[in-house]
Amino acid sequence: MSQLSRFPSPLRYPGGKGKIANFVKILMIENGLAGRDYVEPYAGGASVALSLLFEGYADRAFINDLNPGVHAFWSSAVSRTDELCALIETTPVTMQTWHEQREIANSPEAEGLDLGFATFFLNRTNRSGIISGGVIGGLDQTGQWKIDARYNVESLVQRIRKIGRHRSSIVVSNEDAVQFVRQWSDPAEDAAFLYLDPPYFEKGEGLYDNFYDAADHAEIAESVAHLAHPWIVSYDARPEITQLYPDALQIRYGLTYSAHRDSASGSEIMFFSDGLKVPEMLPNGISISQVVKAQRLALAR
Ligand SMILES: C[S@@+](CC[C@H](N)C(=O)[O-])C[C@H]1O[C@@H](n2cnc3c(N)ncnc32)[C@H](O)[C@@H]1O
């Protein structure tokens, strides 16, 4: 598999959902959802959306994110592809550029291509892709890895050009998820499938600032309950979250799997809209029957 299809997103995303893409493809096929609009209200790195679109599982991809920098990046990649690629090809990856781009990213006035490129630059040169985090190699660049360790111009430009070629099938927006999903409360809307990956309940270090509190988690659960199109929601497995989706079918899994972390005690959880058939393969790539087998083996020991 080429780099381009394995990592379709130009953004690095902490806890990115690369593995989920295969699960979503199987889920769409098994439930007859292929060829619909695919909607991500909390898109972040949008790697699932891009995989589905590029491989023909989705007719159109809706990429929404409230973070202005993340939105400016997607908007630039889709609508100003050539200019963004030219910036990537000509801007030196140095500490001086890093300081300049950090200033742009922190400026409340920054917008459009400037903000989109600054977000991209910091995502590719900071540790774990965290926009507000520290640069790879440290400010004095004495670390083992240097600022450009994750900045392969050729591969990144290729990924952005591919996004540009699909621009007529990508809809980018910058709304609060609760307002954004409202249009899919209407059954007359074009057939869609939604994957919601809200900020985790337990706030960790992330690419984005996590402003979600308990009321926000409850509000999006309420909006999801009114959706007229099939959906899935993924979260960290916390009782405060499971109680918000009392009627939904749910599965637990660990994104890093070991025989001890079986499907019942995994740290991640996924909820499914009414009537969706859950694939045999879990979102971490492990099949449900393998998990059951591992549990049996553990019990027999
Ligand atoms: C858990 S991340 C999504 C990660 C994404 N699934 C991926 O694989 O890259 C949550 C995203 O939601 C965005 N976000 C936070 N609050 C939001 C809101 N109220 N409405 C829409 N997006 C929001 C954040 O900027 C962040 O990019």
Domain count for the chain, please give it.
2
Task: State pTM to two decimals.
Answer: 0.91
Give me the numbers of helices (H) and strands (E) for the chain, helices first please.
12, 7
> Which range marks the domain in which residue 62 is found?
3-66+179-300
225-242 tens-digit pLDDT? 999 999 999 999 999 999
Residue 42 CB–ligand 1 contact under 6 Å: yes
Q: Could you report the per-residue pLDDT of 184-225, keeping only the tens digit for each?
A: 999 999 999 999 999 999 876 555 677 899 999 999 999 999
Q: Indicate whether 192 and 246 sit together in one domain.
A: yes
Q: What is the pLDDT of residue 260?
A: 41
**74: closest CA among 128, 117, 41, 17?**
117
Does 188 lie in the same domain as 240?
yes
Residue-level pLDDT at 257: 43
Same domain assignment for residues 245 and 209: yes
Residue 115 burial (10 A CB sphere; 0-12, 13-18, 19+): buried
Backbone angles phi, psi at 203, to 5 degrees: -75, 125
CATH number, position 183: 3.40.50.150
Nearest Cα neighbor of 57 from 85, 80, 36, 81 is: 36
- Please tell me if the CB atom of residue 10 comes closer than 6 angstroms to any atom of ligand 1: no
Q: If you measure from the C-alpha of residue 131 to the centroid of ligand 1, how many angstroms do you get, rounded to a whole number?
A: 14
Choose one of 135, 163, 191: the last residue of a domain. Answer: 163
Matching residue, tokens 């609508």: 79
Same domain? 190 vs 48:
yes
Which DSSP helix (H) or strand (E) runs through 163? helix 153-165
Q: Could you report the per-residue pLDDT of 145-172, keeping only the tens digit for each? A: 999 999 999 999 999 999 999 999 999 9
116 lines ligand 1 (CB under 6 A): no
Q: Considering only CA atoms, which of 196, 197, 215, 217 is closest in space to residue 207?
A: 197
In a shared domain, residues 155 and 205: no
